[in-house]
Amino acid sequence: MMFFVDALRAQYFLSHLDDELSSFSKRFSPISAIFSSTVEEVLSEFLTTLTHELDQILLPTVAHELFLTKSRGILQGETPSERYQSFFIQGNTYTEHSKSLVLSYPFLFETLDNVLSGAFQNISKRTGTRSYP
């Protein structure tokens, strides 16, 4: 089980993380026979640390964009928590603000992808699983 510092910010890397974890799990399955736990349980601390690091890479940009959006009076809600959530979600959909971050900061998201891929490459080497593609 993974814990995220912030599930709203985690949306930016969860899909890639899930892909990497799924790919790793398939390569790890022959080795997992010696463990009494699932791959996710074995890697729990690693995944928690990784998601925290990814969040820390993302946080300054999100904070900057939140400030700009707040300055324009676009955030909605009576409490800071509601206004924060309104940056990301409106009703049942992601807002244009949250979706536009990926296009506005391509290097940031490339960095997140590279950190994620690199972390799984390293863990694959350390566990002796088959070569990482």
Query: pLDDT for 20-47, tens place per residue?
Result: 888 887 776 655 556 666 667 777 888 8
Cα three-residue angle 18-20-122, rounded to 5 degrees: 140
Q: Which residues contact 124 (CB under 8 A, 6 or more apart)?
A: 24, 27, 130, 131, 132
pTM: 0.82
Low-confidence ranges of the chain (pLDDT < 50): 132
Confidence (pLDDT) at 132: 47
Residue ranges per domain, the chain?
7-127
